[in-house]
Structure 1
Amino acid sequence: MAFSVTAILIAFYVLILIIFKKELHTVNRLLTCNTCLASILYCLVQFIDYIYLLIITWDTDDQSCRWRAYFSYMSLISIIYSYVLQIISRFFFINLYEKYRWLISFKSHIYLILFGWIIILALPLPSIITNDIYFRPNELCWVLSDHILHSYYINIAYYIIPILLIIIFSILIMKRIYSYRKTTTIQRAKKRRDRDSEIFRNIIISFGIYFLGGIPYMIDQFIDSPFTYSFGVVTVTLAVNLEKLFIIYLDRDIRNIIKNYFYQTQTRVIPITLNPTFTAR
């Protein structure tokens, strides 16, 4: 729970910073805001799940349990699919920019985000339209591994497909970056490609942190252990914390704004005494 609270605070801070600083209003940071919202949603859902587990113990309804499972899975995949959207956006910028410039507009990315959330809301629907999830005392609501078809669906739709998409788009982007480095000689174009490469690198690092935190979740789909599921909740929430801190560290503009803020707050004007009766500030 503590990790959930800190992750929410950090994500809110990044979100508010991007919203209120006009110089941060870029397409890339629009997608960063989307990832922050997904992270906040995930942490809130996990917080509520543990409140039901530890405090609201009288709610033993199976359908209520299915809805909690739906929101748990939906919030979980919202993070990983938000990274898929970020990679697709980089693919637009790096691979398709010259032919289809409309793809890099704010409007196109808003449609991309809306399409992503339609998928995110639709994928966990089997949690509430099947009877594979039911209330079990002192346990969180999730699909047991003996429901083989549903378990395979979770692994494929929630993990394998988005990870494969990220890998495929990453390979295409890296090939394009490599070819441009060999052929581009104009300084202006080089700076733009270097900037795109830096953003792409930051996305991969952030996703890598989240992916490592989600490994216990994936293991749980095969061994069906309450320990690995609970441990997975903790590691994913911890990964969300680390990933948000890395966003602050890796994004040069956000990092500089925060550094300047703390520098200004720590700088104090010291009074200078000119004579016994006059003090200048």
Structure 2
Amino acid sequence: MAFSVTAILVAFYLLILIIFKKELHTVNRLLTCNTCLASILYCVVQFIDYIYLLIITWDTSDQSCRWRAYFSYMSLNAIIYSYVLQIISRFFFINLYEKYRWLVSLKSHIYLILFGWITILALPLPSLITKDVYFRPNELCWVLSDHVLHSYYINIAYYIIPILLIIIFSILIMKRIYSYRKTATIIRNKKKRDRDSEIFRNIIIPFGIYFLGGIPYMIDQFIDCPFCYSVGVVTVTFVVNLEKLFIIYLDRDIRNIIKNYFYQTQTPVIPITLNPTFTAR
């Protein structure tokens, strides 16, 4: 729960920073805000789940448990698919910008985010409309691995498909960036290539951190490993914190704004005393 609270605070700080700093108003930062909102949603849902687990123990309704499972899976999808949207956006900018410039507009990205959230809301519906989730004392509401078909659906829809999409788009982007290196002879092209490479790196590294945190959950879905399940509960919220800190560190503009703010607040102001007997000649 402590990791959830700190992740919410860091994500809120990033949101406020991007909203109130005009120099950060870019399409790329819009998708960063989307990832921050997904992280906040996930941590809030986790916080509520633990409140039900530890405090509201009298609620033993299966339907209530299914709703908690739905929101848990939905918030988990929100994070991983937010990275899919970021990598698709980079694909638009790097691979398709010259032919289809309308794809990099703000309007196109708003539609992209809306489509992403429709997908995120639809994917966990089986946990709500089936009876594979039911109340178990002292347990969180998840689909057990003995429901084989549902477990495979979770692993394919929530993990394998988004990861494959990220890998495929990453390969296409890297091929394009590599082609820049072979053909870029103008300084402007070199700067664009370096900027594209930097933004691509800023997406892949935080996603890699988040992916590593979700591995225990994937193992639990396949082999019903209680220890992996317990580890996964902690690691996912922990890596959400770590991933947000890496966003701050890797994004040069955000990092410089934070550094300048702390530098200004820590710089002492020393008054200058003028000699009253001094006369100008």
* Aligned-residue CA RMSD (Å): 2.5
Q: 1:92 and 1:52, CA in 2 relative to 1: closer, same or farther beyond 3 A? A: same
Q: What displacement does 1:227 show? A: 3.5
Distance in 1 (alpha carbons) for counterparts of 2:191 and 2:275: 55
Structure 1 runs, 4 residues or longer, greater than 4 Å off: 273-281
CA deviations over 1:51-79 (Å, ceiling 9, x no partner): 00000000000000000000000000110
TM-score, structure 1 as length reference? 0.96
Q: What displacement does 1:186 show? A: 1.5
181-190 or 220-229, which moves further after superposition?
Answer: 220-229
Q: 1:276 and 1:77, CA in 2 relative to 1: closer, same or farther beyond 3 A? A: same
Q: What displacement does 1:278 show? A: 14
Q: What displacement does 1:231 show? A: 1.8
Q: What displacement does 1:226 show? A: 3.9
Distance in 2 (alpha carbons) for counterparts of 1:48 and 1:274: 62
| 2:219–2:225 CA contact under 8 A, matched in 1 | no
Unpaired stretches in structure 1, ≥5 consecutive residues: none
Q: What displacement does 1:184 show? A: 1.7
Q: 1:188 and 1:277, CA in 2 relative to 1: closer, same or farther beyond 3 A? A: same
Distance in 2 (alpha carbons) for counterparts of 1:121 and 1:211: 21
How much identity, in percent, do the aligned residues show?
91
| 1:8–1:39 CA contact under 8 A, matched in 2 | yes
Distance in 2 (alpha carbons) for counterparts of 1:146 and 1:174: 40
Q: What displacement does 1:2 show? A: 0.4
Q: What displacement does 1:8 show? A: 0.3
Distance in 1 (alpha carbons) for counterparts of 2:113 and 2:193: 24
TM-score, structure 2 as length reference? 0.96
Distance in 2 (alpha carbons) for counterparts of 1:152 and 1:112: 27
Q: What displacement does 1:225 show? A: 3.6
Q: What displacement does 1:123 show? A: 0.1
3-state secondary structure, aligned to 1:108: helix
Q: What displacement does 1:233 show? A: 1.9
Partner of 1:161: 161
Distance in 2 (alpha carbons) for counterparts of 1:233 and 1:27: 32
Distance in 2 (alpha carbons) for counterparts of 1:146 and 1:280: 91
Q: 1:219 and 1:278, CA in 2 relative to 1: closer, same or farther beyond 3 A? A: farther
| 1:202–1:250 CA contact under 8 A, matched in 2 | yes
Q: What displacement does 1:277 show? A: 13
Q: 1:68 and 1:98, CA in 2 relative to 1: closer, same or farther beyond 3 A? A: same
Q: 1:136 and 1:272, CA in 2 relative to 1: closer, same or farther beyond 3 A? A: same
| 1:271–1:279 CA contact under 8 A, matched in 2 | no
Q: What displacement does 1:193 show? A: 1.5
| 1:213–1:235 CA contact under 8 A, matched in 2 | yes
